[in-house]
């Protein structure tokens, strides 16, 4: 039975069998991969060129926030994904049960496992070890929590958990060259986590909204954009809102937003004249039930407003000196931009799932 008004010669297929958990997973999966890439870029490209203690501090905070956010997002996203399954424990036996190695479901599962391993290792190295003892920065919250547990537990001082983790991190920490190899492999896994969900959706050829030409590009832009926003939101909270690191990542995010916006416009144009199901999705997103989520939440508040806000602040920084006089306003502006991008990223996945309409069957 269709939930859309039927035509005289079309049989509409029911839709909406996925719940909010899948939209949450799609959002957190892309965010986690993007946050890890942000951490790697900050460590490999920006940190070696940083000048002065403030810039070094901002780079290191961004690296740690990227790894922490990536780890938390893939953990929560994994729980959301398993919560959708009827037998979640069976999913944990995927190395045995999943044998269709050409399926994006199987490929994506291996991407998730590999990525989770690399982001956990990265967070561990960035938080623990002798060089991090006594270091300051809001991103050290996980280390502070472990130290608090040490204070609560009745353990001898020599047996503290922090000391044990520092000892282990120092002995497992690789050379700089080996670390770059780890970052390279981890980045491949991160990109896989970001984009495989789009490729999985586009395999459903009866849903025009999940267009093979546009959807992978949208996810490939949105994942790193939300990852940058989440990691840099932490850096701004740590006091790095006016740093060169924040400005560079903000500009990179603007480029991603621009490409994502153009791609979504292309998708909408294709939908507007793509046949009955495509036109139904277009109407749902642009004037129907999901107009507040997509047209307002994604296009206006999640893309156009953050881009305009960022361009305005970038212009003021480039041609005036008001940044240092109105530092609090700029810090708040960057934080607002990143929050809007994150909200838009979630609403994008929500609208793409719930605005999907299947091609109707022709009735003779």
The residues of the chain scoring below 70 in pLDDT are 1-8, 14-18, 86-88, 91-92, 94-96, 157, 363-364
What was the pLDDT predicted at 161? 92
Domains of the chain: 14-355 (1.20.1630.10)
327-362 confidence digits (pLDDT tens):
899 999 999 999 999 999 999 999 999 999 988 777
271-323 confidence digits (pLDDT tens):
999 888 999 999 999 999 999 999 999 999 999 999 999 999 988 888 888 88
Instruction: For the full predicted model, state whether its pTM sits above 0.85.
Output: yes
- Which residues, in sequence order, are bridge partners of residue 263? none
Total Cβ atoms within 10 A of residue 159: 10
- Asked whether 348 and 302 are in contact (CB, 8 A), the reply is yes
Largest CA distance in the chain: 81
Helix (H, G, I), strand (E, B) or coil at 26: helix
- Which residues, in sequence order, are bridge partners of residue 10? 362
Distance between CA atoms of residues 288 and 290, nearest Å: 6
Helix (H, G, I), strand (E, B) or coil at 362: strand
Total Cβ atoms within 10 A of residue 343: 17
Chain centroid to CA 118: 16
Segment 208-211 long-range contacts (CB within 8 Å, at least 24 positions apart): 208/270, 208/271, 208/274, 208/275, 208/277, 208/278, 208/281, 208/357, 208/359, 209/267, 209/271, 209/278, 209/281, 209/352, 209/355, 209/356, 209/357, 210/352, 210/356, 211/267, 211/270, 211/271
What was the pLDDT predicted at 66? 98
What was the pLDDT predicted at 1? 41
Total Cβ atoms within 10 A of residue 234: 22
What was the pLDDT predicted at 17? 61
Helix, strand and coil content of the chain, in percent to the nearest 5, comes to: 75, 0, 20
């Amino acid at each position: 039975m269709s939930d859309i008004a039927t035509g005289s010669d079309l049989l509409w297929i029911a839709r909406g069998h996925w719940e909010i958990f899948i939209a949450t997973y799609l959002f957190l999966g892309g965010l986690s991969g993007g946050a890890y890439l942000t951490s790697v870029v900050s460590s490999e490209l920006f940190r070696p060129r940083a000048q002065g203690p403030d810039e070094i501090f901002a780079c290191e905070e961004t690296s740690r926030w990227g790894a922490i956010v990536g780890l938390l997002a893939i953990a929560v996203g994994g729980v959301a994904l398993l919560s959708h399954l009827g037998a979640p424990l069976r999913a944990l036996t995927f190395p045995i049960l999943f044998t269709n190695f050409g399926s994006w479901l199987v490929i994506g599962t291996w991407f998730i496992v590999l990525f989770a391993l690399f982001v956990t290792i990265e967070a561990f190295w960035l938080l623990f070890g002798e060089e991090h003892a006594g270091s300051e920065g809001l991103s050290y919250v996980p280390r502070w929590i472990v130290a608090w547990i040490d204070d609560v537990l009745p353990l001898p001082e020599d047996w503290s958990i922090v000391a044990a983790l520092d000892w282990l991190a120092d002995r497992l920490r690789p050379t700089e060259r080996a670390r770059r190899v780890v970052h390279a492999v981890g980045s491949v896994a991160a990109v896989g986590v970001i984009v495989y969900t789009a490729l999985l959706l586009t395999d459903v050829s009866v849903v025009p909204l999940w267009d093979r030409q546009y959807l992978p590009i949208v996810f490939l832009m949105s994942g790193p954009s939300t990852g940058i926003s989440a990691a840099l939101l932490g850096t701004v909270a740590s006091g790095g809102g006016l740093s060169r690191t924040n400005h560079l990542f903000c500009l990179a995010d603007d480029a991603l937003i621009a490409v994502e916006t153009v791609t979504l416009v292309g998708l909408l144009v294709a939908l507007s004249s793509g046949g009955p199901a495509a036109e139904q999705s277009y109407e749902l997103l642009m004037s129907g039930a999901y107009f507040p989520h997509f047209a307002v939440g994604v296009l206006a508040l999640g893309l156009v407003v953050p881009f305009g806000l960022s361009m305005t602040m970038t212009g003021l920084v480039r041609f005036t000196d008001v940044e240092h006089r109105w530092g609090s306003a700029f810090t708040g502006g960057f934080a607002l931009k990143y929050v809007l991008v994150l909200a838009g990223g979630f609403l994008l996945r929500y609208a793409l799932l719930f605005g999907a309409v299947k091609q109707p069957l022709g009735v003779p």
